[in-house]
Structure 1
Amino acid sequence: MVVDVILPCLDESGSLPVVLSALPPGCRAIVVDNGSTDGSAEVAAAAGAKVVSEPRRGYGAAVHTGLAHATSDLVAVLDADGSLDPAALTVLAGVVERGEADLAAGRRRPVPGAWPWHARAANAVLSALLRLQGVPVHDIAPVRVARREALLGLGVADRASGYPLELLIRAGRAGWVVRECDVVYRPRSAGRSKVSGSVRGTVGAVRDMARVLLG
């Protein structure tokens, strides 16, 4: 089983070596540099990852560019900050490979101190709204695996932080089987999260996602 793993990246040079070295066998890293100024692209290349550039800032823009450069049937999206154990990809990919789901999504199980209250609260509200729409999730899929062509066929349009929410909405409307798997959520390896690391970052992400919900 070969899985192309898309890692959106903005100034993650401190965590990339650990994340890339922990990828399970069969996983090929595609690091999408989203305007880093800390040498992240060079660090990723030195570790053997395929590195592509996406100058348009935004999580969705980086993920979409990664999909465009992926070539395997199965693709995964994983944060590059070290907060999620790459070993989880084996379980998630297996679920899709065996046909048990169209989308395997991680459900975070945080260790103490890993998930600020404001980010957890926002996630809980958004997940509840998704369940009301028939999408059986309790997290906004921080790590996920699906088939590349099917993902592209969903036509996810958001290029900012609303991307994973729009993906889940479109998957639900398309009748996809979505299965959540528990994943350990740890404090990031280095630096502070651009989203959950501050109330301001969380508010910005919620704004992007609200636009998707209301759009």
Structure 2
Amino acid sequence: MSRILVVDDEPQLLRALKINLHARRYSVLTAATGAEALDLAGRQMPEAVLLDLGLPDLDGMDIIRGLRAWSPVPIIVISGRGSALEKVRALDAGADDYLTKPFVMAELLARLRAVLRRPPTGQPPPKAVIGVHEIDVGAATVTGPDGPVRLTPTEWRILTLLLAHPGLLVPGRDILREVWGPEQQAHSNYLRVYFSGLRRKLEPDPARPRHLVTEPGLGYRFEP
């Protein structure tokens, strides 16, 4: 069951979308403000976002950019702004599709099915390089100048999660949820310990990491 985040400050439209999506067996999250939308997206990890641009607190373009800073989730804009310029701005900011209000529900659902059919972009590449180390994800091996480097299963899970999002911020709470489960999202000390180990094994200078980078208070980033 795909989880869809619907962001709109019109209660009637929000209710209509929720009913129609539930009828087609989607799981639905709803938000009436930009702040609520970004919070839900970070905690619930939807498979797609339906986003109105005219929200009371944040401009929709800023929400698109905020999501794109760390997530490849498909974004379909549903907006009363119908000008070509607005569409170009939204698509350039990172939206995947744009539908002008009022719209036919069947068309919105068809566009949603289309973005959900796309191959996921959050898969780690089959091979990667970190400094002088070659990573073979399929074979689960790391090879350095002195031969194989052993990673623990937990280190592997963290590393492949970062490799799947090169150059993008991965929030610490998302790593904790994916690796240890939702009940462990507050245990940021886990991350400090495991990233220290990964850097000792993979970074040329663990004290000054170039590839496994910490964004203080936010999360971590893999820089190729």
* Pairwise same-fold verdict (TM > 0.5): no
TM-score normalised by length of structure 2: 0.29
TM-score normalised by length of structure 1: 0.30
Looking at CA atoms only, which structure, 1 or 2, has the larger radius of gyration? 2
Q: Which has the higher contact order (CA 8 A, sep 6+)?
A: 1
